[in-house]
Amino acid sequence: MRMFGRGGGSRLQERINSVAARQSVPPQPQPVRAEDIPPPPPGAEDDDAYDRVMALLQLSEEARIDPITAAHRPRDELILATEQIVTQLAAQHAIRLGGSLRRALATAFVDEHAAPAKALRPPARSNVVALSPRANIEEAVPRIYPLVMERIDSEVATQLTRQEFSQQLSGVVAEVLAELKIQLNRREQRELIDVLLNDMLGLGPLEPLLADESVNDIMVNGAKQIYVERRGKLELTDATFRDNGHVMSVVTRIVSGIGRRIDESTPLVDARLADGSRVNIIIPPLAIDGPSISIRKFAKKTIDLDVMARQRNISPAMATALKIASRCQLNILISGGTGSGKTTLLNAMSQMIDTDERIVTIEDAAELQLQQPHVVRLETRPPNLEGRGEITMRDLVKNALRMRPDRIILGEIRGAEAIDMLQAMNTGHDGSLGTIHANRPREALTRLENMVGMSGINLPSHAVRTQIAGAVHMILQVSRMRDGIRRVVSITEIMGMDGGEIATQELFRYRFEGEDADGMLVGHFESAGLRPHFAPRAEYYGLSELLLQAIG
C-alpha cells in the first residue's frame, strides 16, 4: 500500500531535504508593512513621536543610506524603503505613529542622508514634485491656495476659532498635497498651514511681524521688500509677499475693516488696525514700484511717565514736572519729527487726567489709547466716490465744542483746525493736548501761526501771536536721536508776549556729551533752575512745593 501514490517516495525525500535546508538557515524577520498597522485614532499620535523615531533612525544600521547605492536608486524607492524601517521601529518601541507622520519622517531622513549622492543620481522618473527646502513653502502656497479655497465653506469658517479652523484646514491641505504629489515634511506642513491661516484670517506675511513686540514700525515697499524698525534702527526682513496682487488683497482687507476704500481714483489712505496700530497706504500709479504700506505699532504694555523715566526718555525730575503740568490742566503742545514718539508721549501725559473728566479725542485715524472711562473718540472721514461727505478735522473740532468736553485732544494739528483749537483752549477747555510736526519749540510756534493763516481768517500777526501765547502753556520737544532712543530734549514754557514776540523759557533740556564704545549717546538731562511761570497755578492745586523741588 502506497501512502503517497506513485513516485511518492522521491517527492517525500525532496520535501524532507527542503525542510532540512530551511531549518539550517536562521529565520528572517518578516517586514511589517505600513498598511498592516491600523492608523491611530485622531489625536492618538504620541506628542514626541517624530523626535523619538528620528533618533532611532539615526542609530539604526539598517536605515543607513549608502551614497553610491542611493545614486542609482530613485528618491521614491529610498523613501518607501525608509518608511518600512520607520514602521518597524515604531512597532518595536510601541510608538504610536500615523501614516502622514511616517511619510514625513522617511522623507526628511532621505533628504538629509542621501544628499551626497545628489550629484551622482540620474534624473528621477517619478512624477512626485521635490521642492528645495528653502522654496518648499513659497512654491507650494500659490499652487494649493486656490484648491484649498474651493473646498472651504467661508461662512462656516468665519464662525470657528483660529485653532478650530487650523484643525479643519490641516486635513484639507493634506488632501491637496497628495493630489498635487507635493511632499512636505511635518514641520513644513505646519508652516504652510500657518501661512494659509495668516492669508485667510490676517495680514499674510505681516502677521509674525505684528506679533513681534520688538518691532515698532513695519514698512512694505512692494511685494519683495519688507523693512522693520527695532530699537530705533531699520532692518530688512526675509518676509515677502507672493506678488503685488497679494499685497493688494491685504491692503483691501485693512481699509475695508474701517469702512474706507482704496483704488486708482483714491490711491492713498490713512487707516488703523484692530489693535490701534496706525497704517498709511499708497498704491500705483502713485507708488511706482508697487503698493507701499507703513504701519506704526503701539506697545501692548501701557507706557506712563515713570516707565519713560526708567527707559531714559526723560529724567525723574522731568517726569514729576510733567505730571504736575498735566494735573494743573496746562494746555500742552507736543512737537517732534516723524517717528519721534509724539503719540506715545501724548498717551503717557493723558494718564494724569482725572477719571471724572469728559475727554473728546479728534484724529485722522484713531490711534490714541486713553485709559479714562469717559472718552469720546472722533475720526475724520474722506469724501465718497462723488466727492461728497468729507468730514475734516476742523468740522470735528467745531462739533466737539458743543459736546461739553472738559478736555480736547487732537491727534495732530496740521491745518486750518489750528484756529478752532486755539479758540477752544482760550474759552475754558484747559488741559487740552495736541501734537505738531516741528524740529524745535520756536518752530512749532511759527508753524502754528502759519496754520492759523490757512483757515482763511485774515488776522494780524500780533493778534495771532497773542492768541497763541494765551492758549498754549507748554511745548514738549521730543526727538528720535541717532542711537535709536527717543528723548524729550526740551520742556519749554510760554510766558506771554514781549514786544510783539512770544516769550518763552526753557525749564529742562537734554545736553549731549559724546558717544560710548557701543555707539550709544552719552548725555544728561538738566534743569535750567528757573522758577516756572505756572508756579501760581501749581500752588492753586497744592503742588507748588513739589514742582519747585523737581526744578531744583
Position 441 scores a pLDDT of: 94
The strand pair at 474-480 and 486-498 is best described as antiparallel
CA angle 177, 180, 181 (to 5 degrees): 80
Amino acid symbol at 48:
D
486 or 429: whose pLDDT is higher? 486
Instruction: Round to whole Å and give the CA distance between 102 and 467.
Output: 78
Instruction: Round to whole Å and give the CA distance between 457 and 423.
Output: 13
Name which of 123, 115, 9, 105 is nearest 52 in CA terms. 105
Q: The C-alpha cell of 8 is what?
A: 511518492
Q: The C-alpha cell of 243 is what?
A: 506678488
Q: Is the pLDDT of residue 15 over 60?
A: no
Enumerate long-range contacts of 50-56, CB under 8 Å, 24 or more apart. 50/101, 50/104, 50/105, 50/186, 52/93, 52/95, 53/86, 53/89, 53/90, 53/93, 53/95, 53/97, 53/105, 54/105, 54/108, 54/109, 56/89, 56/93
Position 532 scores a pLDDT of: 94
Strand partners, 230: 215, 233
| Overall average pLDDT of the 166-177 stretch | 81
| Overall average pLDDT of the 44-57 stretch | 70
259 or 318: whose pLDDT is higher? 318
95 or 222: whose pLDDT is higher? 222
Position 424 scores a pLDDT of: 85
Q: Is the pLDDT of residue 43 over 50?
A: no
Position 162 scores a pLDDT of: 77
Q: Is the pLDDT of residue 311 over 70?
A: yes
Position 142 scores a pLDDT of: 75
CB atoms inside a 10 Å sphere around CB 302: 11
Position 68 scores a pLDDT of: 59
- Residue pLDDT, tens place only, 246-282: 899 899 888 888 778 888 888 988 888 888 788 999 9
- Residue pLDDT, tens place only, 122-158: 444 344 444 444 445 667 777 777 787 777 776 777 6
- Residue pLDDT, tens place only, 343-365: 889 989 988 888 899 999 998 87
Percent of the chain with pLDDT over 90: 34
| Overall average pLDDT of the 429-456 stretch | 91
What strand order describes the sheet that includes 474-480?
Answer: 375-379, 359-363, 407-410, 433-437, 332-336, 474-480, 486-498, 501-515, 521-527
Mean pLDDT of the chain: 81
| Overall average pLDDT of the 485-489 stretch | 93
Q: Is the pLDDT of residue 518 over 70?
A: yes
Q: Is the pLDDT of residue 192 over 60?
A: yes
- Residue pLDDT, tens place only, 391-432: 988 899 989 989 999 999 998 888 888 988 888 888 778 899
Name which of 250, 207, 248, 216 is nearest 235 in CA terms. 216
320, 546 Cβ separation under 8 angstroms: yes
Position 154 scores a pLDDT of: 67
Flag the least confident range among 115-119, 365-369, 432-436.
Answer: 115-119
| Overall average pLDDT of the 184-208 stretch | 82
Q: Is the pLDDT of residue 37 over 50?
A: no
Q: How far is CA 259 from CA 255, 272, 393, 442, 469, in A?
A: 6, 11, 18, 39, 39
Tell me the three state secondary structure of residue 505: strand
Percent of the chain with pLDDT over 70: 84
Q: Is the pLDDT of residue 535 over 90?
A: yes
CB atoms inside a 10 Å sphere around CB 493: 23
Q: What is the torsional sign of CA 115, 117, 120, 125?
A: negative
Where residue 14 falls among pLDDT bands split at 50, 70, 90? low
Instruction: Round to whole Å and give the CA distance between 226 and 505.
Output: 43
Flag the least confident range among 95-109, 224-238, 312-326.
Answer: 95-109
Where residue 38 falls among pLDDT bands split at 50, 70, 90? very low
| Overall average pLDDT of the 97-108 stretch | 75
411 or 469: whose pLDDT is higher? 469
| Overall average pLDDT of the 221-239 stretch | 91
Where residue 159 falls among pLDDT bands split at 50, 70, 90? confident
Instruction: Round to whole Å and give the CA distance between 292 and 282.
Output: 5
| Overall average pLDDT of the 77-104 stretch | 80
Position 362 scores a pLDDT of: 92
250, 291 Cβ separation under 8 angstroms: no
Tell me the three state secondary structure of residue 69: helix
Residue 23 contacts by C-beta under 8 Å, 6 or more apart in sequence? none
- Residue pLDDT, tens place only, 499-512: 889 999 999 999 99
Where residue 242 falls among pLDDT bands split at 50, 70, 90? confident
